[in-house]
Structure 1
């Protein structure tokens, strides 16, 4: 699915994310303490459009494109955004205009997701991005230190910088990060948490997508493993006439088959040897 990264929506401290293809639309909403979601198929999208916009005739693909663009510009004056919370569920109402100034209304009916979903879309990606940022930071510092050593080697060989404004001081990681903290920590502490989260994800959007996809893949694999039926017993009951009782395991049957094959081959070799001996005996009598 093609995804819209997390971005702030409205003024009530919510962030939204959308995923879609030509026939499906998924929207997530979070206030950084919980996460809500609605998944719509092509049939459900067309039904809601008919209910909310009876005068509009459109295709599912065009409606999905309109929903994506409406969400992206939901903070502008031409759109009206309303968030209604009822019994832990949320209705997100959007008002906009299509080409030709035709009014367009939409409602997303989002239900509260589980704690695991919140971890999968918020907590775990943040931790993964933090870890990756730390690894990148360490690698970049090592590269800069290597460059400093290379410059020192050039200088020791008598090389000089042709332009003074290109000359740099030796890199000190502790001093650098200390100065960064004093410049940015106060700004980050004052920023709204959803806004800060969206800004971090936007900077590392590719990494976020990779982490979420991997989590989804692993979750799907676990669910598939849990739902795979145990058919070994059924297979055993269906083929009792093949020399295996219902209590025989595939491993035991395989071992018995190999044993029978070896015995058969030995009998055949013994018969061939006996035939050779008989033939030699006949030749000896003739001679």
Structure 2
């Protein structure tokens, strides 16, 4: 299923966010597309994951929202509009989130409104491998950042050598900060 691989790849690039569902605090990330969504949640000792394609979203929306008839894309758009602000730290009083947690399953219950009618959703997240969804991506990210840091340090050494070469050849540097001649904590110099 090509769409799910695309969603999983996109999920890796999403930042983690701290979220609260009732009394429980988690870190979470999500990715919503026209083909479905993926949601990854952790309490740092367990990880839960749900991937739902359009078939799952359509079926679940009919079960939970019998009075609402809308295209699956409308439900996906609504779910994105509910979760993305939450992941950005913006909560809404008009929406309610709660959760039920077991070692193998995490269900997040959402109560909201869509087109003036009550809208309900349950994210059914199953236990996931911590190493696959949390540890390996974090190690990869750490290694990437370490590599970038080494590259930046190398560029600084190269630039320092260029500046020293300019000084030795008698060039006058135009920036006082580079020459170390003047430093004023007051940007206006007063």
TM-score interval for Structure 1 and Structure 2 normalised by the shorter chain: 0.7 to 0.9
Give me the whole-angstrom Cα distance separating, in 1, the residues matched to 2:174 and 2:105: 66
Q: Structure 2 residue aligned with 1:82, among 51, 73, 98?
A: 98
Which has more helix, going by share of residues? 1
Which has more strand, going by share of residues? 2
SS at match of 1:13: strand
Shift of 1:92: 0.2
Q: Structure 2 residue aligned with 1:93, among 92, 102, 109?
A: 109
Query: Where in structure 1 are there 5+ consecutive unaligned residues?
Result: 170-287
- Partner residue in 2 for 1:30: 42
- Partner residue in 1 for 2:17: 7
Aligned residue pair count: 165
Asked if the contact 2:46/2:103 (under 8 Å) is kept, the reply is no
Query: Where in structure 2 are there 5+ consecutive unaligned residues?
Result: 1-5, 182-190
Asked if the contact 2:103/2:127 (under 8 Å) is kept, the reply is no
Shift of 1:30: 1.2
Deviations 1:118-166 (A, max 9, x none): 2111111111121222221122111111111111111112111234245
Is the alpha carbon distance of 1:23 and 1:137 closer, same or farther for their aligned partners in structure 2, counting shifts above 3 Å?
Answer: closer
- Please give the root-mean-square deviation of Cα atoms over the aligned residues, in Å: 2.3
- Partner residue in 2 for 1:226: none
| TM norm structure 1 | 0.52
Is the alpha carbon distance of 1:41 and 1:167 closer, same or farther for their aligned partners in structure 2, counting shifts above 3 Å?
Answer: same
Give me the whole-angstrom Cα distance separating, in 1, the residues matched to 2:55 and 2:157: 59
SS at match of 1:51: helix
Is the alpha carbon distance of 1:152 and 1:83 closer, same or farther for their aligned partners in structure 2, counting shifts above 3 Å?
Answer: same
SS at match of 1:70: helix
Higher Cα radius of gyration = 1
What pairs up with 1:128-167 in 2 under 5 angstroms? Answer: 128-167=140-179
